[in-house]
Structures are given as structure tokens and as C-alpha cells.
Amino acid sequence: EFQEKHTVSRLIGSPPGYVGYGEGGMLTEAVRHKPYSVVLLDEVEKAHPDVLNLFYQVFDKGMLSDGEGRIIDFKNTVIFLTSNLATDVITEMTQGDEVPPVEAVMGAVRPMLSQHFKPALLARMTVIPFFMLRADAMKGIVELKLDKLAARMMQNNKMKLVYTPAVVDQITERCTEVETGARNIDYILTGNIMPRMSQEILSHMTEEGMPSAVNLNLNDDGSFKMEFSVA
């Protein structure tokens, strides 16, 4: 969204004489009205260098001049920047059962960060490496999502959802890729399980009446199997 040089004005507002002057910037107006805020800059490595240059003053003195010349106070604002730089390096170092020391990971990551970010800007950041979610954590997220689905089905449809450990393991295994990770859980639920479940419920309603329970299991080929029962 901010890969072009001209997008700087979207953050701080247009200067006098330019289109949009007086409307304020997306970033500066938000912080001016709500200084006690959290600002998230996602995948910051994709931003144009001029966009990153805006944050020298923010990270150093806690303030930023907007397009109208007003000084916006950032001293009470927490700023998070996320980046996919060095993801492959971190993944490679954390594949085993043992979690490597953070110092070792930082030693491997920092050269790649230095190639992209200017030293003066990088020196104003606190770098925190994020490790890949391990299987037990991923499994816990899957169970949490399935439990929420079960609660929603009970509340909306008065239907009990029961799932087997094999279902949890199958979804967990499908969410181990770096590119997708835990976000793939929602894709599996909303793009696969829930549409099929809705179709099955509709067909049962026309034939036998509303099911009272559904058992979610696996077929021999690893696909999801749904068994409905009517009270």
C-alpha cells in the first residue's frame, strides 16, 4: 500500500498547494486525535524508502511534522513493525526440538536486516525474532477454533459438534507451511469444513429433520468425514 514515493503524503497529509491539503494524513491525524495508541506497520520491508525515512524523527525524538507543519506527538504511541526478512533463516534454525538462543538467531538475522534498513534507522529499533509456532501450540489453536465453531453451532442450531483427535492432527499438519501458518486454520474451517457441513445440514433438514449432532472425523484418504444424527 505504501510502496510508492507519493504515498508519503497519505501518511502525513499533503503540503500547501497540493491536492488534499488540509485533509490531514492517515497516520498523523490518527495519532493527533488518539496519542495513546498502538500503530502497526505490517511487512514494512515493502515500504518505499521515503516512507521509512519518516520514522527517523518518530523513533528518535518521538514527534513528526505533518503536511500542514504541525508537530504530532508520538511519545505515548507504541509502534510495531513486522517483516518477513530472514524468515527462511529463522525457520532453518528452529526446525529441531531445541530452541536456539536468541543471541544466535539475532546474529544470523541482523546482517539481512542491515542490507535492507539503513543503520541509523535499524539502530532505533528493538528487533525481536519470532519463531515458527510449534506443533503443540498449533494444535492448541486448532482446538480453540473448533471449540468456538462447536459453541456457535450449539447456540445457533442447537446442534452438538464432536471432533476426533485425528481431525485436530490433520488440520495441524496442513498449517505447518511458512507461507500460511496458523491463518490456514480459518481457511480450512471456512473454505472446506463449514460449507460442506452447511450443505449436509440443509439436505438432512429436507429429508429427516434437523440433526441434533454431527461427528467430524477422517476418511481413509485423509479427507474430512461428517456423520449426522437426528434425535
| 105-121 residue pLDDT tens | 889 999 999 988 888 88
Task: Say how many C-beta atoms besides its own lie within 10 A of residue 26's C-beta.
Answer: 16
Return the pLDDT at 100. 81
- d(CA 171, CA 223) in angstroms, rounded, equals 10
Task: Assign 5 a pLDDT band (cuts: 50, 70, 90).
Answer: low
Examine the pLDDT at 8 and tell me if it is beyond 80.
Answer: no
Within 13 A of 173's CA, how many CA atoms are on the CB side?
Answer: 8
The continuous run of DSSP H or E covering 112 comes out as helix 102-116
Locate 226 and state its grid cell: 461428517
- d(CA 113, CA 82) in angstroms, rounded, equals 12
- Torsion angle defined by CA atoms of residues 190, 191, 193 and 199, in that order, rounded to the nearest 10 degrees: 100
Length of the chain: 231
Cα–Cα–Cα angle for 199, 211, 196, nearest 5°? 20
- d(CA 39, CA 25) in angstroms, rounded, equals 14
Greatest CA span in the chain, whole angstroms? 72
pLDDT digits (tens, 9 = 90+) for 170-220: 999 888 765 667 888 999 999 999 998 888 888 877 666 778 899 999 999
Examine the pLDDT at 4 and tell me if it is beyond 60.
Answer: no
Task: Assign 78 a pLDDT band (cuts: 50, 70, 90).
Answer: very high
Domain made up of 135-229: CATH architecture: Orthogonal Bundle (1.10)
Domain boundaries of the chain, sorted by first residue? 5-122, 135-229
Return the pLDDT at 144. 96
Select from 159, 138, 140 the least CA-distant residue to 226: 159
CATH number of 5-122: 3.40.50.300
Which is it for strands 224-229 and 213-218: parallel, antiparallel or unpaired? Answer: antiparallel
